[in-house]
Amino acid sequence: MNNLNLKIDNTLKHLSKMPESNSKYDSGQKAKIASAAKQFESMLTSMMLKSMDKTTGGMLGEEGYGNDMFDTVFEQEIASYVSNTKSLGLAEDLYRKITGEDMTPEMKSKINNRISHSSFNSSSVSPDAAPVKPSSGSLDRLNKYDEHIEEAAKSYGVDKNIIKSVIMTESAGNNKAVSSSKAKGLMQLMDSTAADMGVNNVFNPQENINGGTKYLSQMLRQYNGDLKLALAAYNAGPQNVEKYNGVPPFEETKNYINKVMGYLNHFESEQ
């Protein structure tokens, strides 16, 4: 996961050659175009923030305990705020280039509300997965890490039940687990991902859960709160989600998502 170096002087210059569309769009198509434009603006804003962070050692600087934990949270909140307050205006210009019309105030409000409430929680979860009850042994192991899970959930805005469900699917609560592909620890981090997330010891439960949750929160932000796409990226890599424009057609990834969803439905039913 390499940081992207961006140099953006005029965010609209790449739209200047886009041909004007004379075709008519119905209301449903316009809503989809507006939503996609807004998501693109939010993603671009996030990329710009990450690029600036790389040159300054993070929004809070390189020194100080926990600064790397809060950088991601601030990046996420600022990206949403900038996008929703029309500080860039890129979404509106992109929509106008495609449709030849301006976004209506009602459309802007609807999209902003959708993005503001696109969650890092279970409200975006489809209820189509049957609840999966963990074994008593795996639950006993998982319960040992409640404090670390709560801490990571608060730090990155990810629902604690999602974190629990990923841990159950990845390692069944075994902090010493190592997969055939060399993924390690509770949330099965690859060495490269662990390094990117600032994890020094993948077998340290607190560090591993923090790093895994940080990465999951980035995937959630990248896919605008769509939990299934974020899980697909966590399992198969974001490059495969982009390649297939959705959940990759891999049985392992499909089964992975269903299992996480099943655990999530179980944990929510217990509340």
Q: At what angle do helices 136-143 and 160-171 cross, to 10 degrees?
A: 120
* Alpha-carbon gap, residue 196 to 193, rounded angstroms: 5
Which residue is listed with tokens 């974020």? Answer: 230
CA distances from 74 to 53, 60, 156 (A): 11, 10, 10
* Alpha-carbon gap, residue 225 to 167, rounded angstroms: 19
Catalytic residue among 170, 207, 242, 268: 170
Rg (alpha carbons) of the chain, rounded to whole number = 20
Residue 155 CB coordination number (10 Å): 17
* Alpha-carbon gap, residue 268 to 131, rounded angstroms: 9
92 included as an active-site residue: no
Longest CA pairwise span in the chain (Å): 62
Structure tokens at 247: 């959940």
Side-chain half-sphere exposure of 16, counting CA atoms within 13 A: 5
H-type helices in the chain, by residue range?
27-56, 67-84, 90-99, 105-117, 136-143, 146-156, 160-171, 191-196, 205-222, 227-236, 238-243, 251-269
Contact 232, 222 (CB under 8 A): no
* Alpha-carbon gap, residue 114 to 161, rounded angstroms: 22
Q: Which residues are catalytic?
A: 170
